[in-house]
Amino acid sequence: MTVPLALLGLLERESSHGYDLKRNYDTYFGRGKPLPYGQVYSTLRRLARDGKVAVGESEPGEGPDRKRYVITDSGVTQVEAWLTEPVAPEQHLQTVLFTKVVLALLLERDAQAYLDTQRAAHMERMRELTELRRTGGLVDRLLADHGLFHLEADLRWIDTTVARLGALAAEVR
């Protein structure tokens, strides 16, 4: 997820103050990882510098005066281009999981134990996401589904790798 483009998209929806942008970002995209205020304002400064947003006059509010940010035509064009481009499928040909298994085998350590520990961690995360899917709103349920599908693929890979550990050990040693 690219923060500048997400903020531009939120600004295309409506002009906003930095505080409101952060709140909206966290509501839709910041599950488990809220956007720091400093990042919001540094990103807005760069977007203004690049002509993607315009900064309005300061407005009084609770606390310090607040600036309202408005997307420019150039910003709208960038959001439109980004939304119409497909995201490249991740290659996943060199993952941390795979690297750890191969290194464990190369170092004559217990790759099976690592994979068993990893499986347990994946299962715990799946339980958490399943609960979120059961209790959350639609946004949470869709995000939980996305995470669960990735975890399921990892678990299939772990099972396949466990079944082939002997052959993999012979090939990498």
* Domain contains 89: no
* 61 vs 44: which has the higher pLDDT: 44
DSSP structural state of residue 43 = H
| End position of a domain, from candidates 18, 52, 84 | 84
Strand duo 53-61 + 16-17: pairing: unpaired
Domain that holds residue 10: 3-84
| Cβ contact 50:101 at 8 Å | no
CA angle 151, 156, 160 (to 5 degrees): 145
Paired tokens of 160: 């396949």
Average pLDDT, integer, range 128-152: 95
Domain shared by 107 and 145, yes or no: yes
Count of structural domains within the chain: 2
Summarised one tens digit per residue, pLDDT across range 70-84 is: 999 999 999 999 998
Q: Is 66 exposed, middle or buried (0-12, 13-18, 19+ CB in 10 A)?
A: middle
How far apart are alpha carbons 141 and 147 in whole angstroms?
Answer: 10
| End position of a domain, from candidates 84, 110, 129 | 84
Summarised one tens digit per residue, pLDDT across range 111-121 is: 999 999 999 99
Domain shared by 13 and 37, yes or no: yes
